[in-house]
Structure 1
Amino acid sequence: MSELMKAVRLHAFGGPEVLMYEDAPKPTIASGEVLVRVHAASLNPPDLYLRDGYRALPPEWRPDPVFPLIIGTDVSGTVEAVADDVTGFAPGDAVFSMVRFPADLMKGSGAYAEFVAVAASELAHKPVAVDHAQVAGAPMSLLTAWQFLIEVGHDAPNPFQPYRHQPVPLAGKTVVVNGAGGGVGHLLVQLAKWQGARVIAVASAKNEALMQQLGVDQFIDYTRQAADEVVRDADLVVDAVGGANMERFLRILKPGGALFLVNPLGFAGHEQAREQGITVSSTQVRSNGPQLAEAGRLLGDGTVRAVLDSSYPLEEAWRAHERAMQGSIQGKIVLTVRSA
């Protein structure tokens, strides 16, 4: 009989109430894997989409999983055991990871649990100076920002476009970040500043103080003023929100500029962009341990920080999902594991 652990599992798709805190089999590790005792995990939009059964997708694209499943990708914890062929990690090491994404996009990567098996290639040592909760808030959002702005880091086919996403030079350039207070947005702001860009942050008024702390050069409260009415001749716009009328950002950009869309679905301005000489591009974040280690050094020395909106114990994951559904999140929502 397999050992048991506590985990948050789905037995059916639905609202936050379907997140069940219960006993589950403790994972075993295969070749190339590491068993991590989870200290903290964080919420990301794909967690909510999967819990809901990806109902926003066409029926033929929706997952057909085998229940029960454990959702969640982002973890920080300590190494419990390593496979015989794994080098670079040892029991007791503090580590963090974005687990099996997007490989397990439709079936759950197992982070909402006391233990998770992680490929060593997706794992990085945790920065010593930062606690597990803050580090757990970083992986997916930080890797998304990194792969958009710094280095894609892989050659996998791009599901959003037929060409490879290419970051652009940022030093001395004007960069507009829409949704700057969100999980990805506040890290895009910090990486752009680190690269020497002039950063204009677009977010709601509650984020203005945080944006000033992060060193933005200009703040626009979108509830009072539309960015496309006041900004001109930007080199790059990164939209971390998506939704209707993303085409409005083309008015902000100078000829030869770029528009990066974190969620490009619904963008209808490709012809207009070509006429203006603007590059429109997107990419899907992928697990990458070496990139996470490199970005983690910025977390460790304070150049970048993951801002936490709120924290809940693992057994109250349903409450964390309720908070996520309320919107107006500043930074990340984290789950903490009491047994760690």
Structure 2
Amino acid sequence: MSATMKAMSYAVYGGPEVLELTERPVPKVAPGSVLVRVKAAGVNPVDWKIMAGGLDPFMDINFPVTPGWDVAGVVEAVGFDTPEFQVGDEVYSYGRRDTVQGGTFAELVALPAAIVAHKPAALSWEHAAALPLTGMTAQRTLDTLGVSPGETLLVHNGSGSVGRTAIQLAVLEGVRVIATASAKNHARLRQLGAEPVEYGPGLQDRVRELAPDGVDAAADFAGGVLEDTLALLKPGGRHASIADWTVLQHGGQYVWVRPDADELARLSLLVEAGALVVDVAQTFPLEQAADAFRASMSGHGAGKIVLTPFTP
């Protein structure tokens, strides 16, 4: 194996222009970890928010940084005492670590076995890389809210990847879902089982038309919607956000999902049963990661953006 690999990296905070194709050392394979050859890497808004310095107050950043937390690939090597995996296994992961440096936008990435799961055979590489962070975030949010069959859940930003997954998971549990989205995405949300409403001014009236007594719970995957959420909740209603920590001051919960192979395996079971679908909007080769970030920043709402291996 070569001592170096291709990776997209940045040495300073900034926009997509700071990303560049670099040669980086192949990661060491620690005991209890696996080295994964990247077949696809998901793009998440947090990737370019970190690159812009948005998480500097909360996470240690060691430059140069290879971004990326989502990955699907093949196990290339295993560390000592890693019985869960063998070379050649197809795996996927939400690969966040406590320090930001060695991410998934590279030919190879080393990850602790505890956050790696076997890839469902039903998923392509691209669809597998699109699921971990968004899927686990949706799952954790619904677990936090404790939604039950027969309840009504309001999903802010139902057309985003987290929202689409949350809709499906809630519907599977017998929950009625009202989801906000632009009109162009309403048809897709209906297919997933939600009742779509246009976001923006007048939202409270539109939701009240569907749920005159209000909603039992609200999941905020957008930010900036706390006033609407509080106005639409029934007495004793629950709310959680992944985008607005001020919910903590108003009886809500702030969700920051943790990497966990067991939690990812819960989603794998649903995928294998045909009960959960993943939408991929666009793919780019890894060397075009800057263009992928620009596409992600545009808020297209048609599914995940995924990076594929470097062009030979």
Instruction: Specify the TM-score bucket, using the shorter chain as the normaliser.
Output: over 0.9
1:319 counterpart = 2:271: no
Q: In structure 2, give the amino acid aligned to 1:83.
A: G
Indicate whether 1:199 and 2:177 are aligned. yes
CA distance in 2, matches of 1:327, 1:225: 22
Supply the distance in 2 between the matched residues of 1:201 and 1:64 (Cα, whole angstroms): 35
Q: Secondary structure at the match of 1:241?
A: coil
User: What is the distance in 1 between the residues matched to 2:306 and 2:23?
Assistant: 21
Whole-Å separation in 2 of the counterparts to 1:171 and 1:117: 40
Task: Output aligned runs, 1:215-294, within 5 Å.
Answer: 215-216=193-194, 218-222=195-199, 225-227=202-204, 229-231=206-208, 232-243=213-224, 245-267=225-247, 270=250, 279-294=251-266
Any conservation in 2 of the 1:42–1:136 contact (CA below 8 Å)? yes
Whether the 8 Å CA contact 2:287–2:311 is kept in 1: the answer is: no
Q: Secondary structure at the match of 2:8?
A: strand
Specify the alignment match of 1:183 in structure 2.
161
1:145 aligns with 2:138: yes
Checking the alignment, whether the CA contact within 8 Å between 1:220 and 1:227 is kept in structure 2 is no
Q: Is the 8 A contact 1:181 1:329 kept in 2?
A: yes
SS of residue matched to 1:88: coil
The alignment status of 1:299 with 2:271, answered yes or no, reads: yes
**Separation in structure 1 between the aligned mates of residue 304 and residue 73 of structure 2, nearest angstrom:** 17
Q: Are the equivalent residues in 1 in contact too, given 2:62–2:101 (CA < 8 A)?
A: no
Partner of residue 118, structure 1? 111
- Are the counterparts in 2 of residues 72 and 108 from structure 1 also a CA contact under 8 Å? no
Name the residue aligned to 2:69. Answer: 73
* Kept in 2: contact 1:7–1:23 (CA 8 A): yes
Letter in 1 for 2:197: I
Check whether the contact 2:147–2:153 (CA below 8 A) recurs between aligned residues: no
Structure 1 residue 248 displacement after superposition: 1.8
Give how far 1:226 is off. 1.1
Where 2:103 maps in the other structure, the secondary structure is: coil
8 Å CA contact 2:45–2:297 kept in 1: the answer is: no
Q: In structure 2, what residue type is equivalent to 1:208?
A: H
Would the aligned equivalents of 1:9 and 1:22 in 2 still touch at CA under 8 Å? yes
What residue is the counterpart of 2:101 in the other structure? 108
1: distance between equivalents of 2:102 and 2:270?
26
Shift in Å, 1:67: 2.0
Moved more, 74-83 or 291-300: 291-300
Q: Deviations over 1:196-245 (max 9, x none)?
A: 101111111121111121122x21022585145533421111110012x5
Deviation at residue 339 of structure 1 after TM alignment: 6.7
Unpaired segments of 5 or more residues in structure 1?
A: 151-165, 271-278
Q: Indicate the structure with greater strand content.
A: 2
Q: Which residue pairs with 1:53 in the alignment?
A: 53
**When you count helix as a share of all residues, which structure comes out higher?**
2
1:6–1:22 contact (8 Å) kept in structure 2: yes
Structure 1 partner of 2:6 = 6
Supply the RMSD in Å over aligned alpha carbons: 2.1
The 1:313–1:190 alpha-carbon spacing in structure 2 relative to 1, beyond 3 Å, is same
Which of the residues 187, 192, 195 maps onto 1:209? 187
Cα displacement (A) at 1:301? 2.3
TM-score (norm 2): 0.92
Task: Give per-residue Cα distances to partners, 1:31-56, cap 9 Å, x unaligned.
Answer: 110000110001112211111122xx
1:15 deviation in Å? 1.2
Residue 123 of structure 2 is matched in structure 1 by: 130
Separation of aligned partners in 1, 2:91 and 2:283 = 20
CA contact (8 A) 1:16 1:321 kept: yes
